[in-house]
Amino acid sequence: MKTIHVSASKEYDVLVERGLLHRCGALIRGVCRGQSAAIVADETVWALYGEVVSKSLRESGFRVICCTFPAGEQEKTLETYAAVIRTLAAEKMSRSDCVVALGGGVTGDLAGFVAASYMRGIDFVQIPTTLLAAVDSSVGGKTAVDLDEGKNLVGAFYQPRLVLCDPDTLATLPPEQFRAGMAEVIKYGMIGDEDFLNSLLARPAAEHLEEVIAACVAMKRDVVSRDEFEQGERRLLNFGHTVGHAVERCRGFALSHGEAVAIGMAVLSRAAVNKGYCSEETLTRLLQALQQYDLPMETDCTVEELSAAALADKKRSGDKLRLVVPERVGGCRIETIAAESFREWLKAGGVQ
């Protein structure tokens, strides 16, 4: 088992081990003394893993409450949030009980926000079942739901008590979801570790998933422990996200979050080469990695569409935008630009 300890406003472990799902109840009992555990899962994940997790929780003495919702980003809404939180209230969940987020980033973000706000905060445990959730969204305490006006506009920083990652669950993941998670994995190589990116180029990540997940979580842990509330360094984790979120908005979530981030990293890196921030070689290595893991590198969204969408994003700060710009493989910087010059960055990044 790989254990990564996170030190933020809460201390907690991220445990990575094949087969962990079957003994999640005992591990959750170690951090939660309450009587009830509410499993939040989308219907797809519930059908695959709901019974295993429920059984294990019951064996550890929990009364299990099940809150399911249809799968997909379009369900990460205030309406789903309200339905889940009202179930907790109807079931008389107390402050000592816990929420178990079983699923991908949509479930983790939604269930985390439920846990952050129900009775002003109850314990929650993340059990990520997508690669994206395993390497990124289940760690670090960002929780949120979307509004029509933009992604993740309502949420809270709220750390879990425990993260249990069982790489065996990724075996049922559709290939496009695995690829989407690889965009975030590649992101870690680009922002923080050249050797790690090289290892992804040298050997398929699927052949050594435990190591890959643990390496990403350790990098995220380091960033989050230094800047939990995203005042500085944590913004580096948004590499590819400003353009990526804009692509998601323009395409109405026809692309996955990971695919959109892949496009965002490629656009920003092309622009960085054209503006003299990094070498052509840096771009080539990123594109090689994206190509190797079958990720998109271009968008048919226009400069006008993307700039309008990006300017509505919550990460905009007044008339400024913060972009994460690569300087080399393993090193990025945060560049604050005037919002009106974003069009020029998009053009430099090859967007028409």
Q: Tell me, residue by residue from 109 to 148, as one string, x for binding to ligand GLY by CB under 6 A and - for no binding.
A: ---------------------------x---x-x------
User: Mask 269-298, x = binds ligand NAD (CB under 6 A)?
Assistant: ------------------------------
The Cα 263–Cα 294 span in angstroms is: 12
Q: Which is nearer to ligand NAD, 29 or 241 (CB)?
A: 241
Rounded Cα distance, 241 and 66, in Å: 32
Site for ligand GLY in 206-265 (CB under 6 A): 234, 237-238
| Size of the residue set binding ligand NAD (CB under 6 A) | 33
**Least distance (Å) between residue 179 CB and ligand NAD:** 10
CB closer to ligand GLY out of 29 and 76: 76
Per-residue burial over 305-340, b if 16 or more Cβ lie within 10 Å, else e, is: bbbebbeebebbeeeebebbbbeebbebeeeeeeee
- What is the nearest approach in angstroms of ligand GLY to the Cβ of residue 234? 5
**Bridge-partner residues for 252, per DSSP?**
none
Which residues, at least 6 apart from 177, have a Cβ–Cβ distance to it below 8 Å? 104, 130, 131, 132, 256, 258
**Would you call 241 a catalytic residue per the annotation?**
yes
Q: Where are the beta strands (DSSP E) in 195-343?
A: 320-328, 331-338
Contacts of 130 (CB under 8 A, 6+ apart): 103, 104, 105, 170, 173, 177, 180, 181
Residue located via tokens 């079942």? 129
Active site annotation includes 79: no
Residue 268 near residue 170 (C-beta atoms within 8 A):
no
Give 80 or 238: the residue with its C-beta nearer to ligand GLY.
238
* Residue 44 makes contact with ligand NAD by CB under 6 A: yes
Stretch that binds ligand NAD, among 71-79, 270-278, 282-290, 293-301 (CB under 6 A): 71-79
Q: Is 22 a catalytic residue?
A: no
Q: Give, as one character, the DSSP assignment of residue 317.
A: B
**Active-site residues: which are they?**
120, 142, 184, 220, 230, 234, 238, 241, 245, 257
Residues found near ligand NAD in the complex (CB under 6 A): 42, 44-45, 48, 71-73, 76, 103-107, 109, 129-130, 132-133, 136-137, 140, 142, 151-152, 169-170, 172-173, 177, 180, 256-258
